[in-house]
Amino acid sequence: MSRTLTQSDILSTDEYLKVRLAKRRELVALKKARQMHIGPHVTVSFECWETMWYQVQEMLYIEKGGEEQLKDELLAYAPMVPNGRELVVTLMFEIEDVARRARVLATLGGVEETITLSFSGHRIKALSEQDVDRTTAEGKTSAVHFLHFPFDAAQINDFKQAGSQVIFAIDHKNYQHMAVLPEIVRLSVAQDLD
């Protein structure tokens, strides 16, 4: 279901404090149904209006930057709300050891160009957010990537079919892993598609 995130959606700090704990509990449950692991180091979170609303509210609560910060947060996070014809993902390389993380990321330049969703004969290539270049000239990638998977009408229909097997794949020469979306994840993210 397509929905935009605007300034009118954001609660004042006082109003947010009244619902913060309940919203956090709701978000934990929601994220559980929208998250999966790809290989040993990657966690994928399918974003939606609720996850981005919570992100903006938390940033405002923590940093207390007021109206100016709100504008910046909306510029950053509103594009991460699916528009009804796409799925939007935050992909994170999670490696606790700092030195090891640096070594692994140094070998994964361009990884954002190798990510796909495949189902029912369709293969959708991820498009990276263009806010910053996530791969350096030296070939090091970022630990966090923001990705969009654009769908056409036939792809939306096939993705929503009960039992449709959807494969999330990373096909970088130094990180080749794939996983089938659990049905709970497919059902949850299918709601993002109109």
Q: Which residues of the chain have pLDDT under 70?
A: 1-2, 131-133
| pLDDT value of residue 68 | 86
pLDDT of residue 132: 62
pLDDT at 83: 95
At residue 131, the pLDDT reads 66
Residue 2 confidence (pLDDT)? 67
Q: What is the pTM of this model?
A: 0.92
Looking at residue 123, what is its pLDDT?
98
Q: Residue 143 has what pLDDT?
A: 95
Give a three-class secondary structure readout of the chain: CCCCCCHHHCCCHHHHHHHHHHHHHHHHHHHHCCEEEECCCEEEEECCHHHHHHHHHHHHHHHCCHHHHHHHHHHHHHHHCCCCCEEEEEEEECCCCHHHHHHHHCCCCCHHHHEEEEECCEEEECEECCCCCCECCCCCECCEEEEEEECCHHHHHHHHCCCCCCEEEEEECCEEEEEECCHHHHHHHHCCCC
How do the domains of the chain map onto residue ranges? 7-190
